[in-house]
Amino acid sequence: MKTFTLDVEYECDFALFGLVSSTRDYTLAWALNRALRLRLIRQPELLLNLLSRGRLVFTHYLHATETLTFRLLRNRSIAPSNLKKPFLAPDIKEYDYLLAVSNGCGALADEELLQQLAALDIVQYVCQFDPNTLKYKENLIL
């Protein structure tokens, strides 16, 4: 019997920022709302079921307009897990939060946004990534 495998390549069309911050997710969302004039609203938790290895649960905040979408995701699972790497993006596990921005332009273009995020007191470090180079980029496609 022949078996076929389906190989799917996803193309990520958003900017991805990794944030190091020791604050709670709701505090970071509030600070981003004030600094960037957004309205990040908590969404139902993002669940990743890993078949026999258990499930991972991540907090998720969303700001969406017709032209702009911001997603703030916690990188580490909030549910207990037996996995060695209970992360949404294990490639960049050093970052506490991930911020995905779609269609950012003008005052929220990548360079300006990077500077605004770095200027926040509660953010210790911020870095921009190309999501297409990440091994587990499928986890970031919502």
Angle value at C-alpha 34, between 57 and 130, nearest 5 degrees: 55
Per-residue pLDDT of 12-40, as tens digits, reads 678 889 999 999 999 999 999 999 999 99
76 Cβ contact partners less than 8 Å away, ≥ 6 residues apart: 58, 86, 87, 88, 93, 96
Give residue 86's pLDDT.
Answer: 86
11 pLDDT above the threshold of 80: no
Query: Looking at 61-65, 92-96, 109-113, 127-131, which range is the least confident one?
Result: 109-113
87 pLDDT above the threshold of 90: no
* pTM, to two decimals: 0.84
Q: Taking residues 53-78, report their average pLDDT.
A: 89
Average pLDDT, the chain: 84
When pLDDT is cut at 50, 70 and 90, the band that residue 129 belongs to is confident
